[in-house]
Amino acid sequence: MANPIIQRELLSVLRRPGTVLVQCILAIGFVLLIAVRWPTEPRVALSGARSQEVFSLFAYGLLAAVLLLLPVSPATSIVREKNRGTLAMLFNSSLGPWRIFFGKLLATLGLAGQMLVLSLPAAAACYALGGISVGNILATYALLGLTAVLITTLGFLVSTYSASADSAVRWTYGLVLFASVILLLPHFLLVGASGLTGDIVRWMRSLSPIAAMMSLHGAGDFGARGLLTTENVFARFTVMATIVSVIAAVWTVKRLNLTLFDQARDSGTIADDQELGTRIFRRAMFLVDPRRRSASIGPWANPVMAKEFRCRRFGRLHWLMRLVAVCAIISLALTILTTTQTISWDVGSIGGIMVVLQVALLVLITPSLAAGLIATERETGGWVLLQSTPMSVWRIVWGKLLSVIVTVALVLLATLPGYLVMIYIDPSQRNEVQRVGVCLLLTAAFVMLISAAVGSLFSRTVTAIAAAYTVVLSICAGPLLIWLGRDAPFGHDTVEAALMANPIATALSVIRIPGFRDYELIPGNWWALGIASAGSLLVLLWQTQRVSRPQ
């Protein structure tokens, strides 16, 4: 018997105009990826090097599309039904938990499969050049299929625990970033480690689809630190992705019952109502007591900023301090490992790792905070309430932006101890560290403003966050595809022009990381980010003024 959930969810998504637009953009993008690296001479090299370069770029582009576009659908699938009340109806139907899960799974994989089908003509064009075996193409598509299954199952699991669709999207993108990028760092840090530690970091690295794709198609200069080895990473990725997907699927199915709606919540205790000795002990123990009543809003404080902090989970002071503490510990740990000669690195390598970690934090945290500033208020009806206050529209927008600025600034300041230790170890790095600081500040402002501008164009929080993540990650990852094709066929000037808008590449070029040190991206990148930030601010103000007009 056919599963009705597949027909309902898959057909409803395919009928949306946005889905058709995304499909057209993907098809055009795949064609352009092949066209820019297609041989211009009327003969093909017998070695097949050019066809391998073309297919490598195509594979990385297709993996980026899967990682960027797929997480939204599974992340919102269950939580949206729970909030609408239709999930309880499914539980009371003749469909069991497994049929519900597989119906949603196959519907989401159907979208991923359609994305892969759109890329088949481009893959056939790569095969027509010669030098690529059918087995290599099948292995690439098998890797992409396993990646889609892994992301989908993790998204469903997150969706069962989330209270809102926008939080589910944030956590799912965070898991995707963790599995794809963060799990590469232990192997990068401990390359060449043996024994149990070496086995653990190698298996952790094997869960990353990026590492598996590198093992199939190469990684350029990234392989110098052990990301690309002779190990069969693809086979390990198959094992790890299958195990994690099965665990996530079983876990999700066990939660698909009526108890999902009966989650008991602790009523909590206000610390101000307790005895004086208890209050003193909690203040000394926790420094910032999360159960203490918040102070009144000061006369000079922006009330919208205070509202954002108090309504947002990570806006509470104790959560911000935890985030800052984690960032500070990581930055200091890198420098301590080097100064104690636990890892034989130079200062530039430490700076490269810290830059990557900081940019990853900015890309992960900032869009989730800034994209929903206007969209959430429009969706919940809060924008009308804000308009009824004596505050002007510009003060409302400034208060919302200020809540993001403070959070991002704390994250950036938390890594300053690591940079100070770098300067202490090697004083000649002072100018490079100062330039990196400017790059990170401009990157934070750019990501915040473009996320807020993109998010303001939508009336739903989930769509706004997904669009902001897509735009930001495309800007940060897109030019790196051209960087992978440096010297063949892209020349130095073409690659430098493409990297001029990339904040990651600019920071890495300042810190003199191999592969980026030959490109002069300053001050061109600073001008590009400044102009883009100013344009994004104008778009945000224009859209805010437009939605503030009487309806």
Mean pLDDT, each 10-residue run in order, the chain (551 residues): 74 74 76 65 56 76 83 87 83 84 88 84 77 83 92 92 82 84 71 67 82 74 45 83 92 85 63 65 60 66 77 61 67 60 54 71 80 84 83 85 84 72 72 80 90 88 84 80 67 79 80 76 86 91 84 62
Q: Does residue 9 contact residue 109 with C-beta atoms inside 8 Å? A: no
**pLDDT score for 296:** 66
Q: Does residue 84 contact residue 164 with C-beta atoms inside 8 Å? A: no
Residue 468: which of 354, 352, 376, 355 has the closest Cα?
Answer: 376
16: left (phi over 0), alpha (psi -120 to 50) or beta: beta
Q: Does residue 526 contact residue 442 with C-beta atoms inside 8 Å? A: yes
**pLDDT score for 223:** 44
Residue 98: which of 257, 233, 239, 229 has the closest Cα?
Answer: 257
Sign of CA dihedral 78, 82, 85, 91: positive
**pLDDT score for 364:** 76
Structure token digits, residue 16: 């949306």
**pLDDT score for 207:** 85
**pLDDT score for 319:** 61
Judged by DSSP in three states, 299 sits in coil
Backbone torsions φ then ψ of 548, nearest 5 degrees: -90, -10
Structure token digits, residue 373: 């500033």
Q: Where are the domains of the chain?
A: 4-38+48-259, 310-547
Q: Which amino acid is at 46?
A: L
CA 226 from centroid of its chain's CA atoms: 23
**pLDDT score for 228:** 45
